[in-house]
Structure 1
Amino acid sequence: MRNLVIVLGDQLDEAASAFDGFDPAQDAVWMAEVAEESTHVWSSQPRTALFLAAMRAFAQALRERGWPLHYQHLDDAQAAPSLAEALARDVRALQPQALVMTAPGDWRVLQALRGLAKALGLPLDLRDDRHFFATVREFAAHTKGRKQLRMEYFYREQRARHRVLLDDAGQPLGGQWNFDAENREAFGPQGPGLVPPAPRFAPDARTAGVLALVRNRFASHPGQLDDFAWPVTRAQALQALDDFIEHRLPQFGLWQDAMWPGEPFLWHSLLASSLNLKLITPHEVVAKAEAAHRAGHVPLAAAEGFIRQILGWREYVRGIYWTQMPDYAERNALDAQAELPAWYWTGEVGMACLRDAIGQTLRHGYAHHIQRLMVTGLYALLLGVRPQRVHEWYLAVYVDAVEWVELPNTLGMSQFADGTLPDGRPAPFGAMASKPYIASGQYIQRMSGGAACQGCRFKPAQRTGPDACPYTALYWDFLLRHEARFAKHPRLALQVKNLARVDEAERKVIRLQAEAWKAGGSGL
């Protein structure tokens, strides 16, 4: 055997660089399902099931091409427990001259495979991931010499470079680069109205077998599989893309920050899992969104807001991950040390908004970005949970979670843990966000038209007393804890100044309530 081509569970792309020059007569593909990938974090049943089902579908596509494939199933009698052990065993049996792979999306996996190749005395041909618009080297060049990183500047460079949403003169359509101000509407008391149904892909026999395996093998893991209907093949992912462009993208921009209980999907794309498994490419997603606008089907604000998430935010997050790891994973700029409440894994909590967001997360392996940032993430930030524990939860529960994208979004955007200078001193801005995204319970009430708070015993406007909303009380406790750090912050100083209206007696009550909630008390 000349080359053994390694394909990981999030590299399900037949056009990947790892396959360049592939010769079925002298090369082979290697894939493995291993328990370690579901246990190094307590991976939810929907997440594990999606990866395994998509891997098995991709393996079948390779077999149909007539390509030699060596595949370890999780339920094989002699299955190795880790990726490195499974690969080492097969390398010794197959005796390839070299290992080839597209660069992985996880620092831990990259180090394990590099170490293994060295131990085996084999060259590892690590190839660029063409899935993305920008290489890591190009992102590093963008950051060179900049005192402050901002996604917006990178996004504009990407728009210009790839000529996306530009006019003939090379200027942004509509005369501006960013229409975010038009994409922040909240639902009124009447709610979202008629929401287009999300596409569902009924499990075939192969996927049904995976669901049965996961229910049995990972019975103690969080989540459920009764509603599993995610795309697991490229054909299904392309169908999901077309469905979004046709039925939900036109309204996506206006309502992308809104939430409503019992509505897990609204007008969101639901494409992140397909993108992160590499079933579809960001290039075809962006092209279809732009074409829909130019055809008059999608308003510019909606198309631009969505494209910014793909061409801007997603690419920026990847650049941050690969240029700042491995120390990035341990950052904790706000010195948050509380433990993650146990009810994050069950959804059994008295706060209505959290119960709804976590409940749908466990049911579907999904929550839209405002629920992640301003419901589950906000509570952990205000409570002062150690960001690494929050990261482990997000990586475990969401079907679209791959570390390169999940870690910076959690530590940087959600928890503001990356607001440090290279020498460890506090910095006014983080790499992912210019300020902590903090708010009281009134923000959740407003963005849901009040519906998220209905039936909840806590009152968003109250910060002390038995009926005080935990978000509101913890918001003020957060400001008290970090008053000195953010007193002169250009984006947070006005919020900190409001502390002048809180006397010492009330400050003491706020602190005591916060400590009780950290200990799991107060009927939460």
Structure 2
Amino acid sequence: MPRTLRLVLGDQLSDNLSALRDLAPGDRVLMVEVMAEATYVRHHKQKLVLVFAAMRRFADRLSERGVDVRYVRLDDPDNTQDIPGEVLRALENGGLDRIVATQPGEHRLTRAFESLVLQAPVPLEVRPDDRFICPRPVFEAWARDRRELRMEFFYRDMRRRTGLLMDGDKPVGGRWNYDAENRKRLPRTVRPPDRLRIAPGPVVQDVIRLVEARFSDHFGDTAMFGWATSHAEAQSLLAHFIADILPDFGDWQDSMKGGEPFLWHARISAALNIGLLDPLDICRRAEAEYRAGRAPLNAVEGFVRQILGWREFVRGVYDLKGEDYVRSNALEADRTLPGAFWSGDTEMACVRDVVGVTQRHAYAHHIQRLMVTGNLALLLGVHPDEINAWYMMAYIDAFEWVEAPNTHGMAIYADGGIVGSKPYAASGAYINRMSDYCAGCVYDVARKRGEGACPFNVLYWDFLIRNQRRLEGNPRMALPYRAVAAMAADHDSIRAEGEALRMRLGAAPRT
């Protein structure tokens, strides 16, 4: 009987992984910790802890079932420190007749697999990654011949395909989308819920020591690590969210509050993205709460939309558009990323809080990412390469297939409208409406320009004026450009003030 080397990557920690599906006696599973994966961007320390610890625990899980696992640790003196090198080393002694792997999620690893085909002495079979709800061919068929790719229409098709939140061929409640009911500002009298924290066990503690020793110069802290690194822990986080948090998620999912990193968000994206949870199962469990009357429709629909709609959509876009996607720069942004994105050293209270939360937890929720750090990078004109790299480094759930469309497309509009129909540019008024940041800020959010004014205000108008040629034809930008036209006499002074502010904040032209 032929013997197979089965490669499992760090974000493929699923029992139902296609590469493991026909595992037979005599087969060997290969899992490797390598510097190439730890440093292709300088990942947040907690992300390194998450992936390495979860890999070790998944390998132990397989070994306990009697599977032959070859696990190569980062500090193994013979480690070649890249995936192809470790596959070739695992084949050196012969006895293995083929390699089976699951399609990687990122383009750079697809290239590595292509290189491996040329070097390996045995055939490589790459199987589809069918852990997503929408298979790649289905997304390609949906996208074919469409002038625009819009998540809302994809999401409706996925609802029909899966039957989630459907009554026959109609959406439950008569509406597809309850987004308008998910935008409430959090009152001061409403206290965010207590959250389950996973205490680091021995495996996690060992990896923390490794990361602090080997990656001491990477961004972030490890002291507050509390993420799931096993299937059982991921299920505990999910159960806690479904039972205790989901009912109020809909009302407050877009709110921001200083010093509160999680609010009503699920904290399961990291576990989901490395394979410890199944997306369709998550959606069905949330739907069951609505059907049982334990959670309102606006909460359940909003949560399901994030997974069934948005997560599946951005994965489809990433695959469809290929490696050239992240090379686009539709707004010709050309500025450096300010140092405050790393240090949090800024008088802007919202930016200081979000960067601080990110440093301590490797996490910020979607509105903080989009409307604080993303919005600031957009208004400053930060070059896509710099802000894309920051998001990849900063967040525990960041893998390029999910992060690139969210950052490159949604946050900074560098793709020119493939993911989002308009730039998500906003002045300080939005942040004031959705948070308590402005009350404790040295800047005056009500002041539009001049000394002491909120930087988001003048940067917003400077952004619109600077990009007028590119954006004024967009129907969704008609209202702000009517306001721009009304202030024509002030354009030069706004541009001058905006440029001075960009330089003062550290967004200098790239050399």
CA displacement 1:289-318 (0-9 Å, x = unmatched): 000000000001111111011111111111
Q: For each residue in 1:355-411, what CA deviation from the matched residue of structure 2 results, as whole angstroms up to 9, or x when unmatched?
A: 000100010000000000000100000000111211111111111111111111110
- TM-superposed CA distance for 1:194, in Å, is 2.1
Structure 2 equivalent of residue 279 of structure 1: 276
2:450 corresponds to which letter in structure 1? G
Could you tell me which residue of structure 2 aligns to residue 442 of structure 1? Answer: 429
Q: Matches of 1:492 and 1:500 in 2, distance apart? A: 12
Q: Does 1:462 align with 2:459?
A: no
Deviations along 1:12-37, whole A, 9 cap, x unmatched? 00111111211132x11001101122
Q: Is the 8 A contact 1:114 1:124 kept in 2?
A: no
Distance, in Å, in 2 between the alignment partners of 1:93 and 1:210 is 30
Report Cα offsets for 1:75-120 as digits up to 9, x if no partner.
2222222222222222234453211111111110111122112222
Equivalent position SS for 2:415? coil
The structural deviation recorded for 1:509 is 3.2
Structure 1 match to 2:458? 473
Pair 1:523–1:435, CA change in 2 (3 A): closer
Match of 1:24 in 2: 25
Q: Is the 8 A contact 1:183 1:254 kept in 2?
A: yes
- Name the residue aligned to 1:297: 294
Equivalent residue, structure 2, for 1:492: 477
User: Would the aligned equivalents of 1:154 and 1:316 in 2 still touch at CA under 8 Å?
Assistant: yes
Residue 40 (structure 1) aligns with: 40
Q: Kindly state the Cα deviation for residue 121 of structure 1 after the two structures are TM-superposed.
A: 4.3
TM-score norm. by structure 2 comes to: 0.96
- CA offsets per residue over residues 444-463 of structure 1, 9 Å max, x none? 01101xx2013322122323
Structure 1 partner of 2:58: 58
Structure 2: distance between partners of 1:49 and 1:359: 19
The residue type paired with residue 96 of structure 1 is L
Matches within 5 A, 1:234-245: 234-245=231-242
Contact kept in structure 2, 1:479 and 1:499, CA below 8 Å: yes
**2:337–2:507 contact (8 Å) kept in structure 1:** no
Q: Tell me which amino acid in the other structure corresponds to 1:185.
A: K
* Equivalent in 280, 305, 308 of residue 305 of structure 2: 308
Matching residue within 229, 244, 247 for 1:247: 244
Q: Is the 8 A contact 1:350 1:523 kept in 2?
A: no
Change (3 A) 1:267 1:94: farther
Given residue 494 of structure 1, which amino acid in structure 2 is its aligned partner?
Answer: L
Does structure 2 retain, via aligned residues, the 8 Å contact 1:463–1:476? Answer: no
| Aligned CA distance change for structure 1 residues 91 and 516 (closer, same or farther; 3 Å) | farther
Alpha-carbon distance in structure 2 between the residues aligned to 1:202 and 1:94:
42
1:453 to 2:438 alignment: yes
SS in 2 for 1:100: strand
Would the aligned equivalents of 1:487 and 1:497 in 2 still touch at CA under 8 Å? no
Q: For residue 410 of structure 2, what is the aligned residue in structure 1?
A: 413
Q: Pairwise mapping of residues 38-117 of structure 1 onto structure 2 (< 5 A)?
A: 38-94=38-94, 96-117=96-117
User: In 1, Cα distance between the equivalents of 2:13 and 2:120?
Assistant: 26
Q: Is residue 223–residue 365 contact of structure 1 (8 Å, CA) maintained in 2?
A: yes
Paired residue for 1:204, among 201, 206, 209?
A: 201
Distance 1:220 1:74 in 2: 17
Q: Secondary structure at the match of 1:9?
A: coil
- AA at the equivalent of 1:2: R
Q: Structure 1 residues 108, 176: closer, same or farther in 2, change over 3 A?
A: same
Superposition pairs of residues 312-323 of structure 1, within 5 angstroms: 312-323=309-320
Indicate the residue corresponding to 2:7 in structure 1: 6
Mapped to 2, the partners of 1:15 and 1:283 lie a distance apart of 13
Superposed displacement of residue 512, structure 1: 2.6
Larger mean CA deviation between 264-273 and 68-77 belongs to 68-77
| Whole-Å separation in 2 of the counterparts to 1:40 and 1:516 | 34
Alignment of 1:515 with 2:504, yes or no, is no
Q: C-alpha displacement at 1:122, in angstroms?
A: 3.1
Query: Which amino acid counterpart does residue 510 of structure 1 have in structure 2?
Result: I
Counterpart of 1:176, as a letter, is R
- CA–CA distance in 2 between the matches of 1:521 and 1:20? 52
Q: Please give the residue correspondences for 1:205-244 in structure 2 after superposition, counting only pairs within 5 Å.
A: 205-244=202-241
Read off the aligned partner of 1:177 and give its amino acid letter.
W
**Root-mean-square deviation (CA), in Å?**
1.6
**Within 2, Cα distance between the matches of 1:38 and 1:462?**
44
Q: Give the distance between the partners of 1:440 and 1:338, measured in 2 at CA.
A: 19
Aligned pair 1:183/2:168, yes or no?
Answer: no
Q: Structure 1: how far apart are the matches of 2:226 and 2:319?
A: 32
SS at match of 1:101: strand
In the TM superposition, what are the counterparts of 1:291-440 in structure 2 within 5 Å? 291-419=288-416, 430-440=417-427
Change over 3 Å in CA distance of 1:350–1:5 after alignment to 2 = same
**Cα separation, 1, equivalents of 2:170 and 2:482:** 40
Q: What percentage of aligned pairs have identical amino acids?
A: 44
- CA positional deviation for 1:179: 1.0
User: In the TM superposition, what are the counterparts of 1:111-190 in structure 2 within 5 Å?
Assistant: 111-167=111-167, 169-188=168-187, 190=188
Residues 451-479 of structure 1: CA deviation (Å, up to 9, x unaligned): 20133221223232121211111101110
Question: Residue 431 of structure 1 aligns to which amino acid in structure 2?
Answer: I
Q: Once the two structures are superposed, what CA deviation does each residue of 1:488-519 show, in whole Å capped at 9, x if it has no partner?
A: 32101110111133254x43333233323433
SS at match of 2:166: coil
Number of residue pairs matched?
Answer: 507
Alignment-mate amino acid for residue 160 of structure 2 = A
Question: Quick one: distance in 1 between partners of 2:194 and 2:91?
Answer: 47
- The residue type paired with residue 314 of structure 2 is V
